[in-house]
Amino acid sequence: MAKKYRFSFGPWNISPGADPFGPPVRAELPFARKVRMYRKLGFTHIQLHDDDVVPADWDARQTQRGVAKVKKLLDSEGLTVEFVAPRLWEDPRTIDGAFTANRPADRRYARDRSRRAIDIARMLDCDFIVLWPAREGTYIREAKDAQAAIGRMVDAVNDMLAYDESIRIAGEMKPNEPMDQAYCPTVGHFMGLAYRTSDPDRVGVLIESAHSILAGLDPADDMAYALWHGKLWSVHLNDQNGLKYDQDKTFGSVDLRRAFNQVWVLDRAKFYDIGVVGLDVKAMRTTKPAHQTKHLANSLAMFNFLLERVRSVDEELVDSLRRSRDYEELDRYILGHLMGKSGK
């Protein structure tokens, strides 16, 4: 019974299909309409940017009222907020980065906005903040002091830890896009930094499959690494076809075996007891409005399909093939198993 997974996604995963080369091709659905779709799609948790909840420039009173309204809506749908993420990459004050911006006033804006995201999370009964440091990096290396930048990122996390003494923070690392080079490009980088914060036990990671792949790493191994440290607190499962822009494809749609291994690692670590499975997937631009949630339903179904494959692996056979170092046979067995072929 305890082996049941919970699933989440963010409202940005139902999107109008704009890309850098063309305008939206579907109407943006109102937030409330998206919220009403979650349960029907099999999701119980919602991920939110701070300004998905209320506009970032509202004052304290407006914010409180606005958040209370959203809370009521979420409650009426039986949805739990998995995390709140300060959107530190759209405001003009974050053009040069947020925590690592060269202008002190811009860094202060990032600090204040992150504190406000914590306030919003608290009002939504949520104690979990995710930081995707989208613009903490450079287009040209000479633009910033790279060494100072790392210290500034630690300071920013410390400020949030001090602002709320039980909030947990997970970094979601991505090596590039929108920046040419991010300062903390991988999970490993952020974890190194986490151990130097004022309360390492409250700092962990969210791993997105596509981000690991973009860094040339295997997402399942990245997850195993963070799990060993007790620091994998959320995932953004999706897929990615090689080293290009961040695609957020349907989970398993490019490399079934790579997806299988992510589910394997998560399930062996009993991730269902640790966190929620997030699906950070994007519909194709060609998708018709009537089909704009299929990528979410399909990703969830793929997770469950692979979970069944993972749980029906012949563990004894795998162990014996490992002992005899017959990885050729192990390779054949896994491929056959993935294709639904039984037999040894």
Cα–Cα distance, 338 to 309 (Å, whole number)? 7
Residue 189 bears catalytic tag: no
C-beta separation of 148 from 189 below 8 A: no
Residues that contact Mg ion, how many (by CB under 5 A): 3
* Separation of first and last alpha carbons in the chain: 30
- The answer to whether 281 contacts ligand GLO (rule: CB under 6 A) is no
C-beta separation of 139 from 95 below 8 A: no
Phi and psi dihedrals of 6, rounded to 5?
Answer: -115, 145
Q: Which is nearer to ligand GLO, 114 or 309 (CB)?
A: 114
Which has the closest alpha carbon to 97: 183, 197, 210?
183
The minimum distance between CB 214 and Mg ion, in angstroms, equals 12
Structure tokens at 139: 């287009």
- The answer to whether 239 contacts ligand GLO (rule: CB under 6 A) is no
Residues 31-60 that bind ligand GLO (CB under 6 A): none
The amino acid that residue 124 corresponds to is: L
Going by C-beta distance under 8 Å and a sequence separation of 6 or more, which residues neighbour residue 259? 209, 237, 239, 251, 252, 302, 306
The minimum distance between CB 2 and ligand GLO, in angstroms, equals 27
Which has the closest alpha carbon to 236: 222, 224, 248?
248
- The answer to whether 189 contacts ligand GLO (rule: CB under 6 A) is no
Residues 213-242 that bind Mg ion (CB under 5 A): 236
Cα–Cα distance, 198 to 283 (Å, whole number)? 40
- For Mg ion, what does the binding mask look like between residues 185 and 214, x meaning CB under 5 A? -----------------------x------
The minimum distance between CB 248 and Mg ion, in angstroms, equals 8
Sole binder of ligand GLO in the list 217, 246, 259, 279 (CB under 6 A): 246
Cα–Cα distance, 285 to 5 (Å, whole number)? 29
Sole binder of ligand GLO in the list 35, 53, 84, 85 (CB under 6 A): 85
- The answer to whether 132 contacts ligand GLO (rule: CB under 6 A) is yes
Cα–Cα distance, 257 to 159 (Å, whole number)? 41
The minimum distance between CB 171 and ligand GLO, in angstroms, equals 10
The minimum distance between CB 43 and Mg ion, in angstroms, equals 16
Binding-site partner at residue 85 among Mg ion, ligand GLO, none, CB < 5 to 8 Å by type: ligand GLO
Binding-site partner at residue 217 among Mg ion, ligand GLO, none, CB < 5 to 8 Å by type: none
Cα–Cα distance, 229 to 287 (Å, whole number)? 40
50, 51, 52, 246: which one is catalytic? 52
| Burial degree of 154 (CB within 10 A; 0-12, 13-18, 19+) | middle
Residue 52 bears catalytic tag: yes
Positions annotated as catalytic residues are 49, 52
Summarize as ranges the residues that interact with ligand GLO (CB under 6 A). Answer: 85, 130, 132, 172, 174, 208, 236, 246, 280
* Sites of contact with Mg ion (CB under 5 A): 208, 236, 280
